[in-house]
Amino acid sequence: MNTERDSETTFEEDSQPNDEVVPYSDDETEDELEDQERAVEPEQNRVNREAEENWEPFKKDCTWQVKANDRNFHEQPHFMNTKFFCIKESKYQNNAIRTYKYNAFTFLPMNLFEQFKRAANFYFLVLLILQAIPQITTLAWYTTLVPLLVVLGITAIKDLVDDVARHKMDNEINNRTCEVIKDGRFKIAKWKEIQVGDVIRLKKNDFIPADILLLSSSEPNSLCYVETAELDGETNLKFRMALEITHQYLQEENSLAIFDGTLFWRDTSFPLDADKILLRGCVIRNTDFCHGLVIFAGADTKIMKNSGKTRFKRTKIDYLMNYMVYTIFVVLILLSAGLAIGHAYWEAQIGNFSWYLYDGEDATPSYRGFLNFWGYIIVLNTLVPISLYVSVEVIRLGQSYFINWDLQMYYPEKDTPAKARTTTLNEQLGQIHYIFSDKTGTLTQNIMTFKKCCINGQIYGDHRDASQNSHNKIEPVDFSWNMYSDGKLVFYDHYLIEQIQLGKEPEVRQFFFLLAVCHTVMVDRLDGQLNYQAASPDEGALVSAARNFGFAFLTRTQNTITISELGTERTYNVLAILDFNSDRKRMSIIVRTPEGNIRLYCKGADTVIYERLHRMNPMKQETQDALDIFASETLRTLCLCYKEIEEKEFEEWNKKFMAASIASTNRDEALDKVYEEIEKDLILLGATAIEDKLQDGVPETISKLAKADIKIWVLTGDKKETAENIGFACELLTEDTTVCYGEDISALLHTRMENQRNRSGVYAKFVPQVHEPFFPSGGNRALIITGSWLNEILLEKKTKRSKILKLKFPRTEEERRMRTQSKRRLEAKKEQQQQNFVDLACECSAVICCRVTPKQKAMVVDLVKRYKKAITLAIGDGANDVNMIKTAHIGVGISGQEGMQAVMSSDYSFAQFRYLQRLLLVHGRWSYIRMCKFLRYFFYKNFAFTLVHFWYSFFNGYSAQTAYEDWFITLYNVLYSSLPVLLMGLLDQDVSDKLSLRFPRLYVVGQRDLLFNYRRFFVSLLHGVLTSLILFFIPLGAYLQTVGQDGEAPSDYQSFAVTIASALIITVNFQIGLDTSYWTFVNAFSIFGSIALYFGIMFDFHSAGIHVLFPSAFQFTGTASNALRQPYIWLTIILTVAVCLLPVVAIRFLSMTIWPSESDKIQKHRKQLKTEEQWKRRQNVFRRGVSRRRSAYAFSHQRGYADLISSGRSIRKKRYPLDAVIADGTAEYRRTMES
């Protein structure tokens, strides 16, 4: 078999966009567009003859050739691609899926390589090498090696744990089994062993392991029902049907084993389309078994292609932090260079003339200055915090666990907790500007519920008893009187049941009979219970409602349908089914009653039904008022009507219908024309109202996110009416919203492009660019645009590739230059148009993109990222959302009944959309605040610690002498100051979670980068510089001309180092106490514990015992005990700490008093705000006779089901599995197959 997967892009406008269709096939992957075959019957015979004559030349030109049951065929040299130098591999992928990064051999080298790509890690590796040079270093090697090993080790362990999880998931999928033909028989094989060209057998409820061509199945005409929840989130069944020729000849195992067919099989060609392909990730339903040929495997399958490229995601703070580290690098180099120059000058002026400083080397001052440059690089290396990155990773890991452990994001109904699948993006959750959401399964439950109806002008569905009295609290209707009730319908209007049972109004029974008879639902009996399989959840809800109200659809054949009418079974002859499509927006059925009457029943959208009603319909206005009420309640509606047909009228119409049914050209158009002739002068019965049930808390979540200045865009494959209705249901749209459509903004964008082109003349560079809004200020606007209009506006239209390759090469240099300029102009025009579209869309409060493909979803996300530089989040539940999830800065997967593809590709997952508000407004905001506080404090404490060396250099001849003990330098960031800042980064919170949700405006600080930016960074550095200045010069002044109590001067170098170090530890630990907003016992213990730990370790390291054991490593023997017994030194330490902290306390007090932030105000009044504020749904104002918008009609399947039913192809006949037939070997079956 041969197929092509090619596409090209054009910018020509060849047609008006169609709102009802997806712009191109949803089976297209992100970079492919499949060619469509023209189904013209007379032309087929000529194609067959030409194909037989030209098979061999055509075979060479095909891009994808598959041969059944011949694995060696795909290993031929012309199918091999060069992978690396002379190493070649087949272009046909095997079926194994690999998402892991490392294996046992590559983990250590690859992980170390990735870690040393970080500038800071590589810097410390170079530093370690420099410390091994005796002429340069003044610090011991372990001061750098110990922190570096801790950093590398923790990061490596985290990466290893993540990759082991990926290995387990890959193995679980790759080791699934199915049956594959080997050596002429079906044998059990693992998924990873399947290859292109294999013939496989699948059974009911099996997952499909690869993209396969359906050959045959146990169903009539080799139909196969599949559930595509893993791909698109929809749980309703879809059917696929094999070619008639493969259905006829490829049922037995021995036939399948020798099958070598392609598009050309047995000297005949057969067209293939998407209805004959079963995609990986789908599930076989209602089909006992089926056989298929593997066409695409592994990474070539649609589900993997649509996944898009895996992007390495980093947060905005990550990038900012890296730039700040680079800034510190520059500061370090400048400081070291300045001090090195100072040393060279000092050596030239003083050192060369001081005999007591002679070290036995006659080096020049310049050379000594050069060596001191590297010496100061080592001494001041703690300006670049080596433990910064590992501390950040630890904090992020802790935040991820807090998300996993949050019981308020746990969904008990499906035992699904929230899951942070990545540990690197938590603080970015507090900076989201735009959310891109799928609809089906994400905002909605994909469950349709019958809520209300209008029959003969009377609305039913309110809380009423049998006497029409309304009650706020009333028990649901008891359907136990109905033997066919499924027990799932919850309905509160007892008066409707009274009307059905009494039968005083025949229209009521006629209404539900219409729902039971006018549909294309299939029925099975499982354990004696009726089981409906509908083409759309809307239709299933209507038939199930009729069943509960006493009109149960029992069975159907090719020409009959059987209904139980209040316990009485009646069979009706089906004369014709007039199928639904997106243009007709209705379906009808013509039946003959047992009494011999002919009647047409029709249901459809109010817009098309009202045009076809008889002018004498008395309840037309009442039903329209009911439709307006249903629309205001965001319910999906259908109008129901019927018509009595005379026998003669039907016979005349039926002749036209049969002629149109067998038309060889334009069959669909001919049928639609015939349908129009009979669907007129209809009698209106009433209307149904179905709720496309939203997930719990969706309107409240969207309302709170909007108050947090987060804009929500809905990207869905559903039709426009459905998407708009959901927009109103979840309050993304309101009655006050001015809705703009594709045609509206196309004109606006065209005008803007013309104005920009006119301004881009000779004087364009002299005119400053001014941002002009598209809409006048004020007013609430929303944009609803379809995929077709999106392609039209963004100049992304697709065209089919010609079978014949046409190349036109430029002949002259001028032609080449003209072509290049033309291409650049087109690209510039496209880029400008896209930017204008993004600017326009971002002026709207809400955007809904409907009928869009997976690639278009990702494209919209990418446009906002590119042109608005905004942080984006994408949330979805199906495989068609994977590309969008991977493209956004943060991807969230909904883990529900729709499969796990979105979850597996996401960064965070949970079970319900409503948990998104807690993820962002609580966890995201807290994570952002904590990370910002952590980073500001981290830079502060390292500058305060390191720059003491800088001030000390002015008093030691710029000799790169350290101001502290070596072990203090080693343990400062590891033990003495690490725990309090880590706990602040993990536990701190300015306000509680309830107040965070109650006041969404608190979220804005993250969007505006107010807590961590270059200004905040330099303030922290200045704070650190001033602290280091105080830490050095106050003890220095105190030590000058000082005599201790024992008459000895305490002003030796080691006592001075202990004094500065003690003041530093107390200052930085008390400083974090000032920065802490949420005090717990753990925080207090860590602060005072760190100070106690410092003194404990210092006294141990300064003891005589450890000096005896390691005399070269511990040289401050007795310093601590001698220095710290002097009250004068304790007073010096207290004075130093007070001067460092008191100005900070004063500034904080003034700031909170005079310029309080939003969180400061809430903290001040938090006791009064403890009572929770209940969210109230916005009330819709209904005005009779005024319909602001059309109600969405409840249909979502495509044309084709009526053909299946009326032709009898879907009617099940008894068939046995192949193994049973082969084992039985009956002569009757053999005769049937031979005939």
Question: Cα separation of 157 and 162, whole Å?
Answer: 9
Three-state DSSP class for residue 1071: helix
SS (H, E, C) 543-590: HHHHHHCCEEEEEECCCEEEEEECCEEEEEEEEEEECCCCCCCEEEEE
Tokens matching residue 934: 């952590």
Is 679 within 8 Å of 586 (Cβ atoms)? yes
Is 303 within 8 Å of 279 (Cβ atoms)? yes
For 23, residues 6+ apart whose C-beta sits below 8 A from its C-beta are 17, 787, 788, 790, 791, 797, 798, 851, 852, 853, 856
What are residue 226's DSSP bridge partners?
A: 238, 284
Q: How far apart are the first and last CA of the chain?
A: 28
Sort 542 into a burial class: Cβ within 10 Å, 0-12 / 13-18 / 19+.
buried
Residues, the chain: 1235
Is 286 within 8 Å of 208 (Cβ atoms)? no
**Residue 1215: what residue type?**
R
Closest residue by Cα to residue 600 from 539, 671, 649: 649
438 catalytic per annotation: yes
What is the secondary structure of 203-269 as a DSSP string? ETTPBP-SEEEEEEESSGGGEEEEE-HHHHS--SEEEEE--HHHHHH--SHHHHHT----SEETTEE
Question: Cα separation of 1180 and 603, whole Å?
Answer: 28
Question: Cα separation of 1059 and 964, whole Å?
Answer: 10
- Residue appearing with tokens 């409840």: 1194
3-state helix, strand, coil in the chain (%, to 5): 50, 15, 35
Question: Cα separation of 294 and 178, whole Å?
Answer: 12
Burial 1058-1086 (b: 16+ CB within 10 A, else e): bbbbbbbbbbbbbbbbebbbeeeeebeeb
Burial 1001-1033 (b: 16+ CB within 10 A, else e): ebbebbbebebbeeebbeebbebbbbbbbbbbe
CA separation, residue 471 to residues 454, 464, 489, 494, 662 (Å): 19, 6, 19, 11, 57
Three-state DSSP class for residue 373: helix
Residue 431 DSSP label? S
Residue 1177 DSSP label? P
Tokens matching residue 334: 């400048």
Three-state DSSP class for residue 59: helix
Is 281 within 8 Å of 233 (Cβ atoms)? no
- What is the signed CA dihedral for 941, 947, 952, 954, rounded to 10 degrees? -160
Tokens matching residue 1042: 């000082």
Question: Cα separation of 1117 and 1055, whole Å?
Answer: 11
Question: Cα separation of 398 and 409, whole Å?
Answer: 17
Radius of gyration, CA atoms only, the chain: 38
Which residue among the candidates 438, 628, 881, 966 is catalytic per the annotation?
Answer: 438
> Which residues are catalytically annotated?
438
